[in-house]
């Protein structure tokens, strides 16, 4: 895909295979020069250094061109600090592959996919078009994925955050999750 890299102010083609070895957050959004999208991309930009510290990378994707991406980043003040690349899926093929294409508008829907360092899809997070996503939740999910990858015998309960209790599933825990979480 043709991709705009704002830090170097250049465009080049990227392949998703090029992200192997990293956690990839593939972040689809409907279109440049819209209303909810810049709020999401700004918030994701605020989390970008944390994502990189966790061994991750972000690739934002819409059906716009790299030229539109560049103009939007230069124009929209909310996006002045966006440092991650924006891919141009102007054929819509990648959006179709990930099931986030809107056939009526030919735009991407709001979908975030977290792919592990081996290239395996681990998280699908989608919301309705008029609703912005929560970047803190994306980082929380990335932390949880990283934790269970490094601790395969453990599981993360609902709303788990780093440092909170985790679970070690076993037949003896069935019906006693409360006690496992409370240390009783």
Residues annotated catalytic, as ranges: 37
Cα(56)–Cα(115) distance, integer angstroms? 9
Cα(106)–Cα(52) distance, integer angstroms? 31
Query: Pairing relation of β-strands 23-28 and 10-13?
Result: unpaired
Query: Pairing relation of β-strands 107-108 and 101-102?
Result: antiparallel
């Amino acid at each position: 895909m043709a991709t705009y890299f704002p830090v170097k102010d250049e465009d080049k083609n990227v392949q998703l295979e090029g992200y192997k070895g990293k956690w990839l957050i593939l972040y689809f959004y409907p279109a440049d020069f819209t209303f909810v999208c810049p709020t999401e991309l700004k918030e994701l930009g605020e989390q970008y250094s944390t994502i990189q510290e966790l061994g991750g990378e972000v690739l934002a994707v819409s059906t716009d061109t790299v030229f539109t991406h560049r103009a939007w980043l230069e124009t929209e003040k909310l996006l002045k600090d966006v440092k991650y690349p924006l891919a141009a899926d102007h054929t819509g093929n990648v959006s179709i592959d990930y099931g986030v294409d809107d056939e009526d508008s030919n735009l991407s829907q709001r979908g975030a996919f977290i792919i592990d360092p081996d290239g395996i899809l681990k998280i699908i997070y989608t919301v309705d078009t008029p609703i912005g996503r929560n970047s803190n939740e994306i980082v929380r999910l990335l932390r949880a994925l990283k934790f269970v990858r490094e601790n395969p015998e453990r599981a993360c309960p609902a709303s788990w955050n780093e440092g909170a209790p985790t679970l070690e599933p076993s037949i003896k825990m069935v019906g006693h999750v409360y006690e496992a979480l409370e240390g009783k």
